Amino acid sequence: MCTTCGCGVGDTRVDGKALPDAGGQSAEGPSAESSSAESSSDGDPPGSNQASPKGAGNNPAASYRALAADGRARPTAHGFAHSHRHGETHTHAGGAPAEKAGTSTGHARLVQVEEDILSANNAFAAANRRHFAEHGIFALNLVSSPGSGKTTLLCRTIEALRATLPIAVIEGDQQTSRDAERIRASGVRAVQINTGKGCHLDAHMVGHACDDLQPDEDSLLLIENVGNLVCPAAFDLGEAHKVVILSVTEGDDKPLKYPAMFHAASLMLLNKVDLLPYVDFNVELAVDYARRVNPALQVVALSATSGEGFAAWLDWLQTASRQQQAGKRATIAALQQRISELEAQLAQHARS
Amino acid sequence: MHEMSLAMSVIDIVENAARAGNFRRVSTVWLEIGQLSAVEPEAMRFCFAAAARGTLADGAQLQIIEVNGRGLCFNCGETVPLAALYDPCPACGGYPVQATGGTEMRVKELEVE
Ligand SMILES: Nc1nc2c(ncn2[C@@H]2O[C@H](COP(=O)(O)OP(=O)(O)O)[C@@H](O)[C@H]2O)c(=O)[nH]1
Ligand SMILES: [Mg+2]
Ligand SMILES: [Zn+2]
Ligand SMILES: [Zn+2]
Ligand SMILES: [Zn+2]
Ligand SMILES: [Zn+2]
């Protein structure tokens, strides 16, 4: 079972392959290809401690790099090596929970933990996010009820952008690889995650999917979450933004009924506007409800089948992914600058 | 179900703490659950009992410390109590109110042997 979120990873499949356990005894953790701070020499992990803001945690180890779930060495062109070292017992350095002085009575004592329940997932998400930032990959987590039109929307988006932007897709569904096949038919790489009885994607699964998918440098990574307006809100995947899709056949009060999702999203796509003449759906009211929950929410109304309103969405996507690429270039430039400064200093020392 | 996932994460955190702190039994687990966190305390209790079965927290008591929601009203600028994310401001009736507290879900403390 997945100890990241517990939703039954025994059942989770990435392109048909079983996903290894994410936590507990099986020393594992998110990949940190560059930052050595994350993995101390004893192979100390990720876990919740360093990578998650609140972690007083003592999560399983991450020593990553280049070992696949099945133990085969993997090419790590991107270094997105999210690997496992199963079966190692992991003792956590410096992570022993503080004991309250004076509370020991006999055998019973109190141990302070102060750890976010989602810390393990958050650590995996932080590793994913760092990887995306380093490679200029703009990742979106698309969330909605089943049937709101996510896959249809993705296919049309891919068709419009694939000539100018490299695109990769992660498809999440409980069963079948039908959606990944629909995406592959549109001409881009796609990996299917089947969550079995799990009702959302988590950051651990997405890390493995990225190992398989190896998204291109400066690409767009579209992640279609499991159709569910509830729990995907709580599970950070490392995406730049959550995009919530609400179709006009679902009712304009959905943002009030499922506020967490609208709260977590940066952008709401109001889909199936071609059907507005036939349904009782008040667009202004839906937007108003959504902004009560999330005042900063951006909104684009569109139709994935007719293409109406699509230009605004493509615009948003292109602008945001260019920002991600620019962020990567700025980081690289700053690092190069720093290297030349250090080299200059070194040269000076050598002379003196 | 959402709470089942979370309850299993709680057990995971407890097991890691046990490895680090050298204890073998947990008799009480204190959780801090915010009113705005979309966790149902009753569902959490039920799932915790199930998830704890066969672990070092089998039969442990679950104490849930509920943290009240708080928010900043964009209309009147007051910090106000907030019962749900989409509620209007209890002071002025306006909205939006941005949540500033009550979204936490954490394992706070353990009683162990
Ligand atoms: N009329 C209309 N139907 C749509 C639109 N977008 C998707 N659909 C239909 O809605 C159904 C569900 O779409 P799908 O993309 O599989 O939804 P998903 O479950 O969110 O991935 C399919 O029959 C689509 O053809 C739209 O903009 N307008
Ligand atoms: Mg779909
Ligand atoms: Zn899981
Ligand atoms: Zn893994
Ligand atoms: Zn779920
Ligand atoms: Zn107010």
Interval A103-113 mean pLDDT: 76
Measured in whole angstroms, the distance separating CA A168 from the mean position of its chain's CA atoms is: 14
Residue A276 in any domain: the answer is: yes
A21 C-alpha vs ligand 3 centroid, how far in Å?
Answer: 9
Q: Is residue A51 part of a domain?
A: no
Q: Do B16 and A263 touch (CB under 8 A)?
A: no
Write out pLDDT tens, residues A156-178: 999 999 999 999 999 999 999 99
Q: What is the residue with the minimal CA distance to atom 1 of ligand 1?
A: A272
Minimal CA separation from B98 to chain A, in Å: 8
Q: Which residues contact A10 (CB under 8 A, 6 or more apart)?
A: A1, A2, A18, A196
pLDDT tens, residue by residue, A62-75: 222 222 233 333 33
Q: Which amino acid is at A114?
A: E
- What residues have their beta carbon closer than 5 A to ion ligand 5? A 199-200, 231
Tokens of A208: 């493995």
Contacts of A108 in chain B (CB under 8 A): 27, 111-113
Which residues are bridge partners to A99 per DSSP?
A111
State how far residue B60 is from chain A, nearest Cα, in angstroms.
13
Nearest to A97 among B1, B20, B104 (CB): B20
B/e letters for A225-251, b = 16+ CB within 10 Å, e = fewer, are bbbbbbbbbbbbbbbbbbbbbbbbbbb
**pLDDT of B34 higher than 60:** yes
A27, part of any domain: no
CB distance from B53 to chain A under 8 Å?
no
A88 pLDDT more than 50: no
What residues does A143 pair with on adjacent strands?
Answer: A244
* A5 to chain B: closest CA residue: B5
- Number of Cβ within 10 Å of residue A206's Cβ equals 30
Point out the residue among B8, B96, B109 whose CB comes nearest to the CB of A6: B8
Q: Which helix (H) or strand (E) holds A244?
A: strand A241-247
Question: What pLDDT, on the 0 to 100 scale, is given for residue A69?
Answer: 33
A9-13, A212-216, A275-279, A295-299: the lowest-pLDDT one: A9-13
**For the domain that residue A203 is a member of, what is the CATH number?**
3.40.50.300
Do the domain assignments include residue A217?
yes
pLDDT band of residue B97 (cuts 50, 70, 90) is confident
What percentage of chain A exceeds 90 in pLDDT? Answer: 61
Q: ipTM, 2 decimals?
A: 0.88
- Ligand 1 pocket, residue A304 CB under 6 Å: yes
SS3 A243: strand
Contact check, Cβ <8 Å, A113/B19: no
Distance A60 CA to ligand 4 centre (A): 11
- CA nearest A324: which of A139, A188, A170? A139
Q: Do A119 and B13 touch (CB under 8 A)?
A: yes
- Chain-centre distance of CA A231, in angstroms? 14
Decide the pairing of beta strands A267-271 and A241-247: parallel
In this complex, is the C-beta atom of A119 within 8 Å of any C-beta atom belonging to chain B? Answer: yes
Question: Which of the residue ranges A44-48, A54-58, A267-271, B2-6 has the most confident prediction, judged by mean pLDDT?
Answer: A267-271
Q: Are A58 and A95 in contact (CB under 8 A)?
A: yes
**Residue A41 in domain:** no
Contact B109 A117 (CB under 8 A): no
**Amino acid in the structure at residue A126:** A
From A142, A150, A152, A247, mutation site for ligand 1 pocket: most ligand atoms within 8 A of C-beta: A152
- What distance in Å separates the CA atoms of residue A110 and residue B81, rounded to the nearest whole number? 31
- What does the alpha-carbon distance between residue A199 and residue A201 come to, in Å, rounded to a whole number? 7
For residues A300 and A271, is the Cβ–Cβ distance under 8 A? no
Does the pLDDT value for residue A24 go beyond 90?
no
Tokens representing A70? 């099945």
Query: Is residue A33 in a domain?
Result: no
Question: What domains are there in chain B, each with its CATH number?
Answer: 3-112 (3.30.2320.80)
pLDDT tens for each residue of A249-288: 999 999 999 988 999 999 999 999 999 999 999 999 999 9
> Shortest Cα distance from A340 to chain B (angstroms)?
43
A347 is a domain residue: no
Q: Which of B12, B73, B100 to mutate to test the interface with A (most CBs of A within 10 A)?
A: B12
Domain that holds residue A289: 135-325
In a domain, A269, yes or no: yes
Tally the C-alpha atoms within 13 A of residue A301's C-alpha that lie toward its C-beta.
12
The total domain count for chain A is 1
